[in-house]
Amino acid sequence: MDRYWQLTKPKVVAAILFTALVGMFLATRGWPRLDLMLLACGGIWLAAASAAALNHVLDRRFDAAMMRTRRRPLPSGQLTERAALAFAAALGIASMLILALRVNMLTAALTLASLIGYSLIYTVWLKHATPQNIVIGGAAGAAPPVLGWAAVTNGVGANALLLFLIVFTWTPPHFWALAIARRDEYLKAGIPMLPVTHGVQVTCTYILLYTILLVPVTALPYLTGLSGPIYLSGALVLNAIFVSRAYALRTSHCPRLAMRTFRYSINYLLLLFLFLLIDHYFPAL
């Protein structure tokens, strides 16, 4: 069972589920219906786990060539491709049934689109076609807050798209920092990540530019009235740290600093959404 659990990329899926949950809470002034929230979380979790498992199957040959991923269940021989595909299909079907029958068709359709976008469009095509793969493919990874919003409202409003924009803008510096730290592995696997095709210096410049862009983008929830001063204060502090780390990486090009920047970017996004949640329910604090 542990082998199948590894296929779901639990840490990544947990982060996806958290941003989807925040989308649910922000979509209503009160509290979302508990039954609807649990069903939506279950459906989104199953879809994300299905996409992760399918990603393992599609990337198995590249995973075998990379130190970071060669111990995954497929390249290490712990599971067969057929077993992993059957597992991914079962999770995906269960997800669609829950979302379509118990939540709403819009959430089911958007979740299916993001699953296809990540598993097929990004993993099969974009990842190996262009060094801008993560920029274009980032749309699928930015979908969870919109899915959460749609689950509660059966619609997609402008504020849901703001949450999408934040994650979309955050994605390139997050993944490019990892790509710098793992550049040699991506080179060996033949994956055209930006540090491989354009070098570390260019990638560091892009990371810095995107972190600077995050400053006005993350201010939008405050400017549109979605959030208040608690969120804005937290966002400014988080952005100051992110920009300073990106600047330090730009001047040093140190792989260890790249990995620290990558790890910080994860905490950055989770804390940013946590500030959104706190401000939504406790604006007077």
Give the 3-state secondary structure of residue 191: coil
Residue whose tokens read 């540090």: 195
Give the pLDDT confidence of 97-119 residue by residue, as tens digits. 999 999 999 999 999 999 888 88
What is the C-alpha separation between 116 and 125, in angstroms, rounded?
Answer: 12
* Rounded Cα gap, residues 25 and 160, in angstroms: 11
C-alpha distances (whole Å) from 227 to each of 56, 210, 230 are: 38, 22, 8
Q: Which regions of the chain are under pLDDT 50?
A: none
pLDDT at residue number 122: 76
Query: Among 263, 276, 41, which residue's Cα sits nearest to residue 152?
Result: 41
Domain map of the chain by residue range?
A: 1-156, 157-285
pLDDT at 91: 95
Cα atoms in the Cβ-side hemisphere of radius 13 Å centred on 189 = 23
Closest CA to 166 of 106, 94, 236, 215: 215
Superfamily of domain 1-156 in CATH is: UbiA prenyltransferase (1.10.357.140)
- Please give the pLDDT value at position 81: 87
* pLDDT, tens digit (0-9, with 9 covering 90-100), for 71-90: 888 888 788 889 889 999 99
